[in-house]
Structure 1
Amino acid sequence: MKPVILAGGSGSRLWPKSRAALPKQFLALTSEQSMLQETLSRLKGVETHKPIVICNDAHRFLVAEQLRQQNVDHGGILLEPVGRNTAPAIALAALHALQSDPDEVLLVLAADHLIKDTSAFHKAVHNAQNLAESGYLVTFGIVPDCAHTGYGYIKAAQELDPGFAVEQFVEKPDAATAQEYVSSGNYFWNSGMFMFKAGRYIEELEKFHPDILKICRQAIETETNDLDFIRIDADIFATCPDDSIDYAVMEKTEKAAMVPLDAGWSDVGSWSSLWDVADKDANGNAVVGDAILEDVNNSYINSEGRLISVIGLDDVVVVETKDAVMVANKNNVQDIKKVVNRLKAEKRPEFEFHREVFRPWGSYDSIDSGARFQVKRITVKPGEKLSVQMHHHRAEHWIVVSGTASVTVGEKTKMVTENESTYIPIGEVHALENPGKIPLELIEVQSGAYLGEDDIVRFSDRYGRIEKQDK
């Protein structure tokens, strides 16, 4: 089977950790690995072909780097030019897979789910494969451990070997209805994970939503390879209807099946969900990072760098990052989306970026800024190079803290080593490269009338970003 990892989505309910440029699937929230990396690690022990990862174009280098860190031999990173929900995304993966194997079985997984019991997951995958190879479109139904109102439910019908036929998909219920579902024993949480033959999914999509399939076929006909990435026609795909696989196919097909999964699953959709699955102290508190608590109960505290002190509070969530602090009642964390919407409407940088921003060559951290200056800490990975570029409105001073920099200014290139500095005048074409085997760390001091990231004119770039004038 071929895993298809859906790595789109914004994860806005986990702000301020999760942001548009670094959403939750790329964060280490439940272990030392990111949630994407956890998803890939979970496949060890299952016989699979090389996985396909589907992600937003803006996140392509994050995906590539996290796969590289795990030495994952993948089958391509398929880029969505725009988000169009799960039905089109899976159609793209299915059409791509059919190019090499008409009988390929796809295991469709979200990149941002937690599954604690890997062996139970492997058993469910094995059971699902038997049904998928028989022509069923299989979903994984989570055995509920409470009357949760935040998930959709699946009603099981007659028993199959193994699993069940699906009688009905139902929307998120109210509390009373959820309790009825759980008490009946016939309802399972809808996990959003699937398995089916690529060809069977295409057949059912053509039957129930042919307009989606038509556009996806047109978009992928001219697919091109760019480094590790598979690109499709952006203009064509932008016209595709926005629909989920549940609405487009699973609720309509007569061949829907469900395999139960009881493996400590969570979609980690909110800070309260993280509190649910986290280890807690004797007072019910889950603490990540540096914190001092006095008379605090049933709370979630997450510190990225600074000390957090909480006194005399119950059922709170406190999350600190380098540039933001979020405090909420644990029962109201769903309202974080309202804050995120305000940040977006006001065009505040905290909506999209962290203070530290990751690039394919490394990262930069905006340490300080004022009316006509900005200070950044820049890290360049060994062997990597920033684009050859020029700024109209700012000059730059670079001070090397560790490692060795190859600096090109105009027609001259020189080596700058630890405790040395160099100057880039306004309007001068320049480039920065790390020729060494250890990370290059330097401090950049910008000065000028305008210091925005869009003041970059690129002349050459090894990462294909000439048209996108971001650092």
Structure 2
Amino acid sequence: MKIVIRAGGIGTRLWPMSRKNNPKQFHSIVGDKTMLRTTYDRVVPILKNKEDVFISVNQDFVQKTLDEIPEISQKQLIVETDTRNTGPAMCLEVCFLEKFCDPNEIIASLPSDDYISNSEAFQSLLESTESFIAEHPDYILTPAIRPEYVDTGYSYFKAGKNLREGQKDAIYKVAGVAEKPNLEFCQTLIDSGVYYCHTGMYLWQLKHIVNLFKTHQKEMYDICTQVANLTIENKLDEAERLYSELEKISIETAITNHTNKIAMSVSNEIGWSDLGKWHIIKKVLKPDETENLIKGDVMVQDAKGNLIYSSVPKKIIVVNDVDDLAVIDTPDVLFISSLKNSAEVKKMVERLKDEGRGEYL
């Protein structure tokens, strides 16, 4: 198996901590290690050698990635010259790997910003799902998680037929997808007991996913093939010109919505969370006795349920008589929001972009 760690995003829902020049995967949100380093360390033990890990990264962070993970070489970096969503990004992964890997190789494409509390359970999950793809190479498999709370920002997969009847690790055919449902419908899905949270992880046979891209996204595949060649030759300006022509679409829109052979594993043991939103970070980390989650020099009085983050030296944040807020202080931006709607910061980032205030992005 080859593993691709997707580290090309910017993480605008965690702005202003996550910025264009220092995105979230290079931050240590949980523990002392960055999210990228943590993800790398989690997957390496199940691989035959360290050369089986590839990292998809924006061209601006090639050296930063090599500094963060000195065990890898530049040959293991899949260089994105622009941010085009998961459809083009994962197509580029496929076109890059096609040049170096056996067509029957099984590929796992994983986000760099997942929180997983049980690494051993996760490693077992990857090995189990790898064996499924080896037996069923015409399937795409995605690990899914039983939801523990309502979140309208995720997609939910319905479990259909058990494709491993009688075996220990059940794998279900996906019988339906609800993409980012509204609050009421999301609660209904969770209460049904048959819908599971999509994690954004994918496993597939290289030859199969190549054929799917050729069939359903031929232009994207052809462009990404050229871009992969150009980035390998370090012709990044030409690669950027071509890659930026691609429409920003998700892998679901590009590929998985076009096939009915999607399977999902279900695990409640790995302790998964997507560390892409402030309110999720507060759920994952342990608040103090007042239910406040604090990082930095902060003084709190008669306040509870807040997430307060400061990266500004020689500055104290004093919070009085407010509940359930996100307060994120950086040297040039102070962001304050209700915690439950803090992911809406993405709209504010777009507004700053539209107003030409790129220095804050």
Distance 1:344 1:235, change over 3 A: closer
Q: Which digits, 9 at most, give the CA deviation of each residue in 1:212-242, with x for residues without a partner? A: 212222333444355xx99973333233333
Residue type of the alignment partner of 1:105: I
Once the two structures are TM-superposed, the CA of residue 92 in structure 1 deviates from its matched residue by 2.1
Structure 2 CA distance, aligned partners of 1:350 and 1:269? 22
Is the 1:95–1:198 Cα contact (8 Å) retained in structure 2? no
Distance 1:31 1:203, change over 3 A: same
Bigger radius of gyration among the two: 1
Q: Secondary structure at the match of 2:201?
A: strand
Is the 1:303–1:321 Cα contact (8 Å) retained in structure 2? yes
**Hey, what does 1:15 align to over in structure 2?**
15
Identify the match of residue 67 of structure 1 among 60, 69, 72.
69
1:214 aligns with 2:216: no
Distance 1:50 1:292, change over 3 A: same
Q: Which digits, 9 at most, give the CA deviation of each residue in 1:23-65, with x for residues without a partner? A: 1111111221111111111114312553111122222222222
Q: Secondary structure at the match of 2:96?
A: helix
Is the 2:66–2:73 Cα contact (8 Å) retained in structure 1? no
Structure 1 portions without partners, runs of 5+: 353-471
**Hey, what does 1:327 align to over in structure 2?**
336
Structure 2 CA distance, aligned partners of 1:157 and 1:232? 45
Aligned ranges for residues 277-288 of structure 1 at < 5 Å?
A: 277-288=284-295
**Hey, what does 1:269 align to over in structure 2?**
276
Deviating above 6 A after TM superposition, structure 1's stretches of 4 or more consecutive aligned residues are: 229-232
Residue type of the alignment partner of 1:259: S
Is the 1:78–1:231 Cα contact (8 Å) retained in structure 2? no
1:172 aligns with 2:180: yes
**Hey, what does 2:161 align to over in structure 1?**
158
More helix by share: 2
1:29 aligns with 2:35: no
Q: Which digits, 9 at most, give the CA deviation of each residue in 1:308-360, with x for residues without a partner? A: 211111111212222222222213313322432333234335423xxxxxxxx
1:104 aligns with 2:105: yes
**Hey, what does 1:242 align to over in structure 2?**
248
Structure 2 CA distance, aligned partners of 1:178 and 1:191? 16
Aligned ranges for residues 42-53 of structure 1 at < 5 Å?
A: 42-48=42-48, 49-53=51-55
Q: Which digits, 9 at most, give the CA deviation of each residue in 1:352-378, with x for residues without a partner? A: 3xxxxxxxxxxxxxxxxxxxxxxxxxx
Residue type of the alignment partner of 2:122: F
**Hey, what does 1:76 align to over in structure 2?**
76
Distance 1:175 1:232, change over 3 A: same
Residue type of the alignment partner of 1:52: F
Residue type of the alignment partner of 2:153: G
**Hey, what does 1:344 align to over in structure 2?**
353
More strand by share: 1
Residue type of the alignment partner of 2:187: Q
Structure 1 CA distance, aligned partners of 2:213 and 2:266? 24
Q: Secondary structure at the match of 2:249?
A: coil
1:184 aligns with 2:192: yes
Structure 1 CA distance, aligned partners of 2:237 and 2:47? 27
Q: Secondary structure at the match of 1:314?
A: coil
Q: Which digits, 9 at most, give the CA deviation of each residue in 1:239-280, with x for residues without a partner? A: 333322111211221321111132222212221111111111
Residue type of the alignment partner of 1:301: I
Residue type of the alignment partner of 1:332: N
Distance 1:340 1:230, change over 3 A: closer
How many pairs does the alignment contain?
348
Identity of aligned residues (%): 29
Q: Which digits, 9 at most, give the CA deviation of each residue in 1:402-437, with x for residues without a partner? A: xxxxxxxxxxxxxxxxxxxxxxxxxxxxxxxxxxxx
**Hey, what does 2:167 align to over in structure 1?**
none
Q: Secondary structure at the match of 2:8?
A: coil
Distance 1:42 1:239, change over 3 A: same
Residue type of the alignment partner of 1:29: I
CA RMSD of aligned residues (A): 2.1
Q: Secondary structure at the match of 1:192?
A: coil
Is the 1:224–1:232 Cα contact (8 Å) retained in structure 2? no
Is the 1:166–1:257 Cα contact (8 Å) retained in structure 2? yes
Structure 2 CA distance, aligned partners of 1:177 and 1:198? 36
Residue type of the alignment partner of 1:24: K
Is the 1:37–1:67 Cα contact (8 Å) retained in structure 2? yes
Q: Secondary structure at the match of 1:233?
A: helix
Q: Secondary structure at the match of 1:153?
A: strand
Is the 1:79–1:231 Cα contact (8 Å) retained in structure 2? no
Residue type of the alignment partner of 2:331: K
Is the 1:143–1:261 Cα contact (8 Å) retained in structure 2? yes
Is the 1:154–1:189 Cα contact (8 Å) retained in structure 2? yes
**Hey, what does 1:448 align to over in structure 2?**
none
Q: Secondary structure at the match of 1:103?
A: coil
